[in-house]
Amino acid sequence: MIIENNWLDLAVEAALLGGNILKQYSGKTDSSTIITKNRGDWVSEADKASENAIVALLKQKAPEHQILTEEAGWIRSDTDSLYRWIIDPLDGTTNFLRNLPIWAVSVALERRRKLTDRWGEIIAGAIYIPPTEELFKAGKGFGAFRNGKQINVSKGRVFRDSLLATGFPFRTRQLAEEYLNLFGKILMNCGDVRRPGAVAIDLCYLAVGIFDGFWELDLAPWDIAAGSLIISEAGGNFSNFQGGEDILSSGDIVAGNPELFPELLAMVSGSFPEPRDVNKAPN
């Protein structure tokens, strides 16, 4: 059995496994194998192949752990484990299907204090970006790394010169007007904004100092679990839209370097002062 100090190694192994499978499908996906889950939200045979391989690996090497994945949902083990893997087998599916080389695999390990807890703390995370061969990883209290080199968020950049990243609420289009109003306010005060279309990559690039801040609402737990740990271990801050610690329930997240984060959070919370009544925890 793998000892707890090596769970990060397993997260890395799982992310690399999924990413290498995705490489085999890249540019070759048949439209007949693509399923529309919702408007603007698709799943392909590549997603499923990556997920199946990762799940099989985790079941083999950590059979007592729970697993939460994007496609299969909550896969319970035979034990009442406090550990739960949170997996996105292909973040940026739309990009992948359109041959836009901005996509990744995200694997995180969560530890709850008791079984009745909705969520626990993320203690290990790995994100592999096959198109650029970048591997980001972080362990709780051990720092964050890109391709083996320790990384840190940006420092000393004022808000007006910042480069931020975001995404648009395609799953929550009824909030589009409010969100676009907020986008306009932020754009008028920062340097510029990017929308790459793969949250895991956005969070990694914030952790390494390419982006200075990030905000988006209605994300899934697997979108942000690994990336949030990588950011915090790189010296960054994150919260939900109201400044609270729980980002997994609603999927609303604000993140940034310590100097910029308070100003970005103030703008976001000013537009969304009340928590959304959302609970994305698995049943």
Q: What is the pLDDT of residue 101?
A: 95
- Average pLDDT score over the chain: 90
pLDDT tens, 68-111? 998 778 888 888 899 999 999 999 988 998 899 999 999 999 99
Inform me whether the pLDDT recorded for 280 exceeds 70: yes
pLDDT tens, 141-193? 999 999 999 999 999 888 999 999 999 877 777 778 889 999 999 999 999 99
Do 228 and 199 form a contact (C-beta atoms < 8 A)?
no
pLDDT tens, 42-70? 457 888 899 999 999 999 999 999 999 98
Q: What is the pLDDT of residue 25?
A: 86
CATH number of this structure's domain 4-150? 3.30.540.10
CATH number of this structure's domain 159-271? 3.40.190.80
Which one has a higher pLDDT value, 275 or 100?
Answer: 100
Inform me whether the pLDDT recorded for 2 exceeds 80: no
* Closest CA relative to residue 255, chosen from 160, 138, 165, 143: 165
The residue ranges of every structural domain in the chain are: 4-150, 159-271
